Structure 1
Amino acid sequence: MKPDQLSLTFSALADPTRRAIVARLALGEATVSQLAEPFEMSFPAVSKHLKVLERAGLVERGREAQFRPRRLTPEPLRDLASWLESYRQFWDAKLDSLDTYLKEIQKKDI
């Protein structure tokens, strides 16, 4: 994965409205009007959020008759999870070391 794609994904997910849209699309396809329902914003505002998500590759438009439902595209999220996994392993190792150290200290205090 190119670093700029990762930056696009992080940038798109930095906004809570866009994260909510992604969460809704994880349940299945939805039209712009369905995605706009829980928000107090205009359709153009929701469309702007969708465009950011589309540019990041997180969302794509379907083509069903006159409807253009949006659907989640999982690849950028998989790439993001993979990138984060290396850091999870790092922190797990650090936390395991800390746990071992704390147990040693507790033994000395007894």
Structure 2
Amino acid sequence: MNLGEEIKREFFLSENNVVSDRFICHNTDLLWLKEEIDYMIYVPSYMLWCVKNGDADGNLVCDRTISALAEFGRAKNAENRLNFKFLCNDKQRFVVFSFLAMVSFRPKIP
């Protein structure tokens, strides 16, 4: 099973609830979205977008998704508004770790 399929499975994403590519392309930084969002839908949707699209065309979605995950990792308790890591179960955290490992070792395209 590839990482995209794991993201979909572990975060229960389907065509009915995944954030659209169009939305992600127009809102490259999920931390700066003005409306309240469901992190359990938006974060894995952005991760899935990065797995499918990468950063070959100079977009900033992947860089900003990694930065968002770093911010979520700094949250010290579940009451923090950036509490994504506290919402995840062990399997979901492993998928996030796998995503970060994949993007860390992906060669940058000049």
Query: Taking structure 1 as the reference length, what is the TM-score of the superposition?
Result: 0.29
Question: Whose Rg is larger?
Answer: 1
Bigger strand fraction: 1
Bigger helix fraction: 1
